[in-house]
Structure 1
Amino acid sequence: MKKLILGMAIVASAFAFGQKKDANALNAQLQEANKVAMDAYNAKNYAAAAPKFIEVYDLLKANGQDNKIYMYYAGLSHALANNSDQSIKIYTDLVNSGFTGVETTYTAKEKKTGQVVNLDKATWELMKKNSDYSDFKTEQTKSIEPDLYETLASLLLNAKKAPEALAVIEKGLVKFPNSAKLKEAQTTAYLQSGNTDKFVSGLKEQLAKNPNDATNWYNLGVMQAKNPATVNDALEAFKKAIELKPDFSDAYQNLVYTTIGDDAKVVGEINALRKDKPDEASKLIDARRERFGKALPYAEGWYKANPKSIDAVSALKEIYVVTKNIEKVKEMKAKEAELSAAATK
């Protein structure tokens, strides 16, 4: 699963309460809480920003303005602070409330100064009758509802809550059926919950839409390699991953081991046959050498992609032993010793 990425630009808000009692004092309190929240957020002190955004929300709500964007900011801040439980609760409440984050701004231009001013809707309507203002405009912000579903799904998956994540994902896909992030999260949730058949189906569905995703080809290969009936499909999937990402070390590694197969089992069979059935043992030896020969270019690719991997060096050394390339065996033994010595320093 891809790492959860969070971030957005939080902008300052203007607060206005008309002629309500103690409006000035309340406005000052709101401005102070908002400033503290924003300063903390911009300083990346997300743990401090979250409760201050909640304070702003509570103050507004107590005065008749249920502006959930501040709860969104609080949930985002909690997520960035790795307070997953608090973030999950806020995002869940926002999703269940149907919150979209869409806001309408109302502006007008002051003829005398040419300055564009922000107004609340009621004032904006009244100002239309005022000859001192012109260019009355409204704008709507973009919906953040898809982000709410996608982020909540990722938070739940990071918290290893696959059943809850699947419920959110399925609800989100009803509204946003083309969301690639939700589809990817759904595939991850299937794997996390142990539903490997649906995981593989999800990978194939994603690859049908985007056949250039090396990671998905690799993941598909990993799953196919677990089933003897689809080992050849796994090899092709790993090859496709490398074709798309030539330095994909893990894909080379899996190509090596999948091509060789269960070598310990084969060696055991050879040793059991050596004394009484030498001809059969020889056939197994030849077949083993052939498999190692097929694995050789993949092992060399693995070593090239990750020359500091002692596993890659050891695998390549073993293949050279089996394929009887003595000079290369010496070279890999020296490299193996060098890497082992470096690891102990």
Structure 2
Amino acid sequence: MKRSLLLAAIALTITASAQEAPSISSAKIALDKLDLVSAKSYIDDAKVIIDGKPASEVKSKNMSKYHYYRGNVYYALYTSETPGNADYLDETVKSYTNLIAFEASLGKERYADNIADKMPMLAQEYVNRAETENFDNKDKGEARLNYSKAFELRGSLGQVDSTSLSYMAYLSQDMEDWTEAERIYLILIGMNYKNMTWSGMLAKDSARYPFPDKRTLDMYVLTGEAFEPQRSESTEHDLYIQLLWVYSESDQKSKYDSLITISRAKYPENENLLKMELQSYLEKEDYAGALKNLKEAIVKNPNSALYLYNAGYIYHQQMKDLENGKAYYELAVTADPKYLDAVYMLGLMEIDASNVWVQKINKLGRSENSKAKSYTKEKEKALGRALVYFEKAYSIDNKDEATLKALREVYYKLTRYDDVKRVTEEMQQI
């Protein structure tokens, strides 16, 4: 009786230790027949069996075979649908990754070499899914997740997928996840990421797609899956610009000030960084710094009406330097005769000049008629000059409310009441 029980126990042990092998083999046979339902059922049975026993009780040959065919089955399932099931792709990657790690621990490859060429393509599948989620489904969270999976998978293959990492940063920024955006941008800057992208035309649809690096693109070209490889110019400065926006939007002023100084020193010719530094000066009311910045910009772009106008505005409104203010406004109008703001401000300066003569007239005594006439004449000259500017501004934009108000005021002071009525009616129609 004891002998019978012992034999039964031995038989059960042998059966249990051998159970995963038939399930794996059955999965392979079903896969070869393209019976994916049965293949999945068998390989899932094998998983239950293997997960239910210590790893030491699974033969290394069976473990390698299990990871390999589980990956194959789930990859076949993934590619059998359009679009493919994300869970199937994840399971494929997990199985192949486990296979590579397991055989590396053994120091012996049975199947890992068979999937070497497939792994980069799986990473590209994550990128494709990320693009679909971002552009078609408008789901930035899922897009970022898929780029993250591509980044991690390529990292496990010894590739630094800085392109996917940069997209993760951009998406984090769009999602207003400032902490994550900052973290990733700092990583990219620390990597000296040049932000050069590789792209190629995919043979399947003759459309251009981005690639993570030259190595992956070369592989696609070599296999005939892509053609016309192309590399973009470096836009490394954009990382600094985007991080500055992150600091601005998240109200991290000290970090912004520090980074703008570093960025301007690193890219002194970049106009966007110049503008951002100018805005920083203006927000801090550092007008001397803003003028220094503007003059540097004007040297590089002497015909920029925007820069010339802003220099004039700072001199005029903030530093009360009327001479320089007027000079820069005039330069702005010379650069762009239809630059409305500069034309308007020149008119406003003439109104201010006329008001100065009014103040002088009001201080005169009753017997100072000669001076009063002279001052009145100068006042009217200033109003006449103002009218020229405001009528020019009106010709540029006859719906601009500030221009209409100023024009009505000048007409009134010049006693042109019919024009006052006309402008008033135009204002009421806006």
Question: C-alpha distance in 2, partners of 1:247/1:83?
Answer: 41
Q: 2:151 aligns with which of 57, 80, 84?
A: 57
SS in structure 1 at match of 2:218: strand
TM-superposition CA deviations, 1:1-31 (whole Å, max 9, x none): xxxxxxxxxxxxxx99797148769878745
Cα pair distance change 1:91/1:270, threshold 3 Å: farther
Cα pair distance change 1:173/1:195, threshold 3 Å: same
Counterpart of 1:241? 332
| Aligned positions, number | 303
Is the 8 Å Cα contact of residues 107 and 117 (structure 1) preserved in structure 2? no
Cα pair distance change 1:46/1:273, threshold 3 Å: farther
Counterpart of 1:330? 418
TM-superposition CA deviations, 1:18-49 (whole Å, max 9, x none): 97148769878745543321112333826332
Cα pair distance change 1:164/1:192, threshold 3 Å: farther
Note if 1:35 corresponds to 2:128.
yes
Is the 8 Å Cα contact of residues 244 and 260 (structure 2) preserved in structure 1? yes
Question: C-alpha distance in 2, partners of 1:259/1:246?
Answer: 18
Cα pair distance change 1:278/1:93, threshold 3 Å: farther
Cα pair distance change 1:190/1:44, threshold 3 Å: farther
Cα pair distance change 1:307/1:89, threshold 3 Å: farther
TM-superposition CA deviations, 1:281-305 (whole Å, max 9, x none): 5554333222212212111111111
Is the 8 Å Cα contact of residues 252 and 299 (structure 1) preserved in structure 2? yes
Question: C-alpha distance in 2, partners of 1:44/1:235?
Answer: 53
**Structure 1: unaligned runs, 5 residues or longer:** 1-14, 119-137
| Counterpart mapping for 1:161-200 below 5 A | 161-200=252-291
TM-superposition CA deviations, 1:110-166 (whole Å, max 9, x none): 9xxx85578xxxxxxxxxxxxxxxxxxx98764342221233234434555554233
Is the 8 Å Cα contact of residues 287 and 318 (structure 2) preserved in structure 1? no
Q: 1:74 aligns with which of 153, 163, 168?
A: 168
Question: C-alpha distance in 1, partners of 2:324/2:411?
Answer: 26
Counterpart of 1:205? 296
Question: C-alpha distance in 1, partners of 2:404/2:319?
Answer: 27
TM-superposition CA deviations, 1:41-97 (whole Å, max 9, x none): 333826332343234334444665443322211112233455555434432332244
CA shift, 1:208, in A, is 0.9
**Structure 2: unaligned runs, 5 residues or longer:** 1-92, 103-111, 197-212
Is the 8 Å Cα contact of residues 153 and 182 (structure 1) preserved in structure 2? no
Question: C-alpha distance in 1, partners of 2:283/2:155?
Answer: 39
Could you tell which deviates more after superposition, 77-86 or 214-223? 77-86
CA shift, 1:248, in A, is 1.6
Counterpart AA for 1:47: K
CA shift, 1:170, in A, is 2.6
Is the 8 Å Cα contact of residues 329 and 343 (structure 2) preserved in structure 1? yes
Question: C-alpha distance in 1, partners of 2:338/2:171?
Answer: 36
| Counterpart mapping for 1:281-292 below 5 A | 282-292=373-383
Could you tell which deviates more after superposition, 282-291 or 305-314? 282-291
SS in structure 2 at match of 1:287: helix
Identity of aligned residues (%): 19
SS in structure 1 at match of 2:337: coil
Question: C-alpha distance in 1, partners of 2:264/2:189?
Answer: 13
Question: C-alpha distance in 1, partners of 2:223/2:160?
Answer: 29
| Counterpart mapping for 1:215-234 below 5 A | 215-226=306-317, 230-234=321-325
Counterpart of 1:98? 192
Counterpart of 2:50? none
Counterpart of 1:20? 100
Larger radius of gyration: 2
Is the 8 Å Cα contact of residues 46 and 81 (structure 1) preserved in structure 2? no
| Counterpart mapping for 1:296-315 below 5 A | 296-315=387-406
Higher relative contact order (CA 8 A, sep 6+): 1
Could you tell which deviates more after superposition, 166-175 or 218-227? 166-175
Counterpart of 1:107? 218
Question: C-alpha distance in 1, partners of 2:421/2:261?
Answer: 53
Question: C-alpha distance in 2, partners of 1:109/1:69?
Answer: 17
Is the 8 Å Cα contact of residues 307 and 313 (structure 1) preserved in structure 2? yes
Cα pair distance change 1:80/1:241, threshold 3 Å: farther
Counterpart of 2:341? 250
Is the 8 Å Cα contact of residues 313 and 332 (structure 1) preserved in structure 2? no
Question: C-alpha distance in 2, partners of 1:92/1:193?
Answer: 25
Is the 8 Å Cα contact of residues 411 and 419 (structure 2) preserved in structure 1? no
SS in structure 1 at match of 2:285: coil
Counterpart of 1:134? none
CA shift, 1:189, in A, is 2.1
SS in structure 2 at match of 1:178: coil
